[in-house]
């Protein structure tokens, strides 16, 4: 066969193209007559009196499932858009410990207290003896007052014991004048309170001595 005869011969089409063309024609005809196939529109009251099959066929579908489907589709697309455009901060909560890479110095007071004020900032250059933090003096002041009271009580007991020993030797009523080195930091009220205790102890000792003397049997004299 020559080239001219091959060019003039009709081209053979694939059968699939003819099948697709037929489907397209059928779909176009059905789409044009879709309103005729649906039948006449009836009200709900009219569809109720039809046979069961026709009533089910002519009764329109309830719009709630369709609205629910559209709502789910809308939520899906909103979530998809948010996943593409939005930014979510990822935060992990876990116990841990901060470890700095530079040289550090542990600052620890002798007694536990509450930090009232921080006198330096992070990165400041400090010198030896410079105050760094200010602690709440409430607890320390209360402890100091308690220790002072205990010290005064011990000093008062020592002074009263010495005065009683001297008075038992001399027989003179004891008294504290606050001139001793142990009582140099006392106030007038502390001295008065110590003298009241001393007088009570001296009276108690004299009463015990008198009772003991009365209980000693006296020797009888025979004529």
C-beta of residue 217 within 8 angstroms of C-beta of residue 179: no
Residue 90: pLDDT band with limits 50, 70, 90 = confident
Pick the more confident residue, 88 or 201: 201
Is residue 170 included in any domain, yes or no? yes
Q: pLDDT tens-digit profile of 151-179?
A: 888 888 888 888 888 888 887 788 777 65
Tokens of 182: 């142990």
Is residue 78 included in any domain, yes or no? no
Is residue 188 included in any domain, yes or no? yes
Is residue 183 included in any domain, yes or no? yes
Is residue 162 included in any domain, yes or no? yes
Pick the more confident residue, 40 or 212: 212
Is residue 115 included in any domain, yes or no? no
Task: State the DSSP string of 120-184.
Answer: S-TT----TT---EEE--HHHHHHHHHHHHHHHHHHHHHHHHHHHHHHHHH-PPP---S-SSTTT
Domain range spanning residue 168?
Answer: 138-215
Question: What is the enclosing helix (H) or strand (E) of 37?
Answer: helix 34-38
Residue with tokens 């009888």: 220
Total tally of structural domains belonging to the chain:
1
Is residue 131 included in any domain, yes or no? no
Q: pLDDT tens-digit profile of 110-164?
A: 777 788 888 888 878 888 888 888 888 888 788 888 888 888 888 888 888 888 8
Is residue 123 included in any domain, yes or no? no
């Amino acid at each position: 066969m020559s080239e001219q005869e091959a060019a003039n011969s009709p081209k053979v089409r694939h059968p699939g193209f003819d099948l697709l063309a037929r489907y397209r024609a059928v779909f176009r005809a059905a789409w044009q007559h879709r309103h005729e196939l649906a039948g006449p529109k009836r009200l709900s009251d009219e569809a109720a009196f039809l046979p069961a099959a026709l009533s089910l066929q002519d009764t329109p579908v309830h719009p709630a499932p369709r609205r629910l489907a559209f709502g789910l589709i809308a939520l899906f697309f909103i979530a998809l858009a948010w996943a593409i455009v939005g930014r979510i901060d990822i935060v992990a909560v876990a116990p841990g410990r901060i470890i700095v890479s530079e040289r550090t110095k542990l600052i620890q007071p002798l007694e536990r207290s509450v930090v009232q004020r921080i006198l330096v900032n992070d990165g400041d250059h400090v010198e030896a003896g410079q105050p760094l933090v200010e602690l709440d003096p409430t607890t320390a002041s209360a402890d100091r007052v308690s220790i002072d009271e205990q010290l005064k009580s011990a000093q008062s007991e020592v002074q009263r014991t010495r005065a009683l020993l001297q008075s038992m030797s001399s027989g003179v009523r004891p008294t504290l004048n606050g001139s001793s080195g142990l009582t140099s930091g006392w106030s007038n009220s502390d001295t008065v309170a110590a003298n009241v205790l001393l007088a009570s102890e001296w009276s108690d000792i004299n009463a015990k001595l008198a009772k003991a003397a009365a209980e000693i049997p006296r020797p009888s004299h025979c004529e």
